[in-house]
A and B are shown apart, each in its own frame.
Chain A
Amino acid sequence: MTEQPNIEMIKQMSGGDVSFEEKMIEIIQRELPKEINLYHEHLKNADYLTAAKDVHKLKHKISILGLEKSYKLAVDYENQLKENKSSLSDAFEDILKNMLGYINTF
């Protein structure tokens, strides 16, 4: 079953500061597609080491959106890419779609 992203962690950090919550969502809406595009580009060019760095960066947003299981998969995938393998790419793609779909509901 697909994990449901949430903004609980952002709410915890905000301590009730709604403007911070809005700012964070706006940043993720803007920054996430750019990071995903870079990752796709590097993966397409089989530049696995750079793609691993992209996954590393994306891990932060995965954890901020409360996706614990997805985070674990991202860790494994990052390590896999460092070894020039990419068999977890489809599963990782699902995580990215899940995040994008969620963040665009705001």
Chain B
Amino acid sequence: MPDSLAEQILQGKEILPTTGSSAQLAQIPVEFRERAVFSAKTNNARHVQQIKDSIADVLSGETNIASARTKLKQSLSSINYQPDPAKRGGLQDLSSDTRLNLILKTNTTQARGHTYKMQGQEPGVIDVWPAQELFRAESRRERRQWGQIWNQAISSLGSATSAIRVSDPFANDGMIALKNDPIWKAISVFGTDYPPFDYGSGMRLRDVDYDTALDLGLIKEDEPSQERDTTSFNDGLQVASPVTDPDLLATLKESMQGIASIVHGILKFAP
């Protein structure tokens, strides 16, 4: 078993070669996407396996992003991949730095973000740090308006959230809520309650302690502790599949063998 918990999370995922575009793949329920390693319009199983292996090497601390990226370029070269000349160097060029960095960074951040979330739910930990804060960990030339995204999510969720509003639309911190508040999934384009919350985002989470949560009114002294989220990838799961695109459905059915099946519109994961 790998030493790194993040790598263990990755190893629990199945590879999903697919011809689906990113827009099509976005239709797949998050519960499924969380359990799979895939890349839009990448249907070569060997290359998708290489993507997974390269991410594992980064997560274990064996290699860095540059070496992992080089391996992926070699993998593409070995299958004679040639980008469309008009799209060379861009996101749709599977061999471009932009595309490969996005794949490696997004997947490593997801696995590590998931690990930090899971460890934050451990008995004892959730009591001492019941809340968390969205903050800027990496600077960006162009910043998203996370403060605005945050406040909009609060408005949409209404009484379902106890998250604290912020005044700055470009807020770099101060976006605080309980760990199991629905706002975390609401602000994520991936539908996950851990970072990254968007492509290339430099925002991450950090724990907020009991006293601060008390001061902010997120918890009350006489209330029981927050219930732990112990959801695991190993749990069997059934969700209604919103995938309506027949081509994507066919691709998914074929590539999901052993991971999940779609029966009468219900996506059922193998336990």
Do they bind each other? no
